[in-house]
Amino acid sequence: MTTAGDPASYLERLREPVEAGLRLGLTEEFCDDDLPTDELPDWFIDVSGDRFEGAPDFAQLGRERHSKLRGSGNWRVQGWLFRFAPDDETRGWAWWDATVVGKSKVRIWVDSWGESFFGCGDLRWVAFTAGARDVDGPRLARPEEWAAEIAGRP
């Protein structure tokens, strides 16, 4: 994906909501009640709500870019968080990482259990709203490709 700005800042914004969701997947019951949002950044809550005008520009532009994707609707915070339920089979990925691969390029790595087509709308939403200009893929890659890429990290 291509970022709109510094890729290191983008990665920080991307990681915060995803890691909060993954932590909830380990600690919450995922009953019919709303899940806690206190670990989510304010910008993500704002952009994923009805009154998204209060979100920062990068998030609003990402929401706008995401809405232009064919068949993509905007995500609500609770719907997005419920994708992290351990028993939810609609999220087609598990473990994740993200790496900077160029001046304005970032790659998101996930374990899709070898499936070339999997549910990743939740990742697209957070990728765009964190400030991506475009998001492509998914593309299957071998774990060795990820290992080689992270070997070059500072």
Q: Quick check: 154 pLDDT over 60?
A: no
Q: What is the pTM of this model?
A: 0.90
How far is residue 112 CA from its own chain's centroid?
Answer: 14
pLDDT digits (tens, 9 = 90+) for 104-120: 889 888 888 777 777 88
| Residues with Cβ within 8 Å of residue 15, at least 6 apart in sequence | 98
Taking Cα atoms as reference points, which of 21, 17, 20 lies closest to residue 85?
A: 21
Handedness of CA 72, 76, 82, 84 (dihedral sign): positive
Give me the helices (H) in the chain, please. Answer: 7-27, 42-47, 57-67, 77-82, 121-129, 143-151
